[in-house]
Structure 1
Amino acid sequence: MFNAIGGGVGQDLVDQMIRTPEEYNKALYDLSLRIAQSAVKPLAAVVIAVMAVLELTRVASRAEGDSELAVKIVGMALFRISLVYWAAANSTVFLKAIDAAGQWVTSGFTAAASVTDPVVAGAPLGDSMRDALDKAGWKGQVACLVLLLLPFLASQLAQVVFTVVMMLRFVQIYMLTAFNPLPIAFMGLEQTRSWGVNYFRQYATYVFQCATLYLAVLMYRTLATSVLRPDSYQAGDDLAKWVVGNFANLMIASVLLIGMVVISNGVSKKLFGGE
């Protein structure tokens, strides 16, 4: 129970945040790619064709009466349309590049965190107080069990919130992946170009929300240590009395993780110009 309160989220769950969408759930990822290939990509091709006709009509009217200028403008328009078509046909390449960037950054968080720091490496609070728990005997352990029940349940609720948020982020990524050719098709016209830009910005936001969630857990483990103050327990102290004296801090540490999960989503949005 001490470990759950101090660690916040199990390391096996946290490690899932380092995975790319393809590694997290390959079945869902493959399903989203099949949907994009069979259902969305034909629609994107139709959109590109319509955009091409509108664009060629527009540029042709601008160069009416000047054949040399018409050839240059139409040629540039065709080149731009062909680029959009190529990008739509290979749209998963851009998404995988964003996935790789998110994984690279998240892996960098792990490298930056000290591997020798027990706070980052696992769940330190219970392990650091194991001797005190052993010396407390069964009476002291039962007292701690009762006193820790509420903070422990709060920590479990925080873990459920974290898990649900993480799963929803990946589901949103898979949904966006399923529609990946279509937003690129709208980049063929200046009037609809922002649709495609916003799509990639939203996709990057969700990918980096996984990174900020991972960072939130690392920071929580360090912050929880300062809140719980395990060093305040001295050898020979009554463990149950120490728990009573730190009950508020134990509750704060459990609720703190929920708050950090919430703000981590906002941080990711602000990275890409969101509110």
Structure 2
Amino acid sequence: MKLLRVGARGAERPAVLDADGRPRDLTGVLGGADIDGRFLSGGGIERVRAALEEGDLPVLDADGLRVGAPVVRPGKVVCIGLNYRDHAAESGADIPAEPVVFMKAPDTVIGPFDEVLIPRRSVKTDYEVELAIVIGKTARYLESREDALRVVAGYTISNDVSEREFQLERGGQWDKGKSCETFNPVGPWLVTADEVPDPQSLGLRLWVNGEPRQDGDTKEMIFGVAEVVRYLSQFMVLEPGDVVNTGTPAGVAMGMPGQPYLRAGDVVELEIDGLGRQRQTLGQA
């Protein structure tokens, strides 16, 4: 299934796409609840699937409506850095022996077509197309990769927007170059795990102003989805609704000749096979 949320910021309505790609309103089925951790851990996906099969969900007139992030209020956004060999190489970094872990502030999460704001005094705002995992069950000290995949509710697209000077040249952790407002467009859909039988076989691409910048495949990950979730559960409790960004392939501005960082007015488009497409216009904070 493809779950989504549409409407003005803070007033989104949960929906599901039917077989013809039409959004069906889930407001009645969910009784005013939203697509969040409680929904994911409390059998929400199963209830929606049953309602969709019954065929009586009303069609939602979504023409002209904003698309929000498909999961509301993630408790945390956990990220894996340098998780593609070609991106590590363009960054001048060694291939990591273990996953490189950092965090993004949860309130960086915005809709897939919302405006991304370049921070004040930024000169190195960058883009990163990434496969994002959405956690569906509490995970702690998982023992196997099979256990890890069982806690995955589904997948979506993330643009892990980054300010490289803040991240790498200002001392301290990466987080301050990753947690600026609007720095994590997510969506358009949460595609349930049963519709992504092999998360390690997904092409992912990104364009800036129509120019191809990134073109990779999740099979090139150093640490795959199952290992990332298993590994993280050894160091933190993953809760339903948490989002895990799994890294980006080569082609970021930082690694390109001339380092063509983003400027106000630029348009970034990104897509992942089977997970949809995003489009953001850059503005100025």
State TM-score, norm by structure 2: 0.23
Larger Rg: 1
Higher relative contact order (CA 8 A, sep 6+): 1
Give the number of the structure whose residues are more often helix, by fraction.
1
Give the number of the structure whose residues are more often strand, by fraction.
2
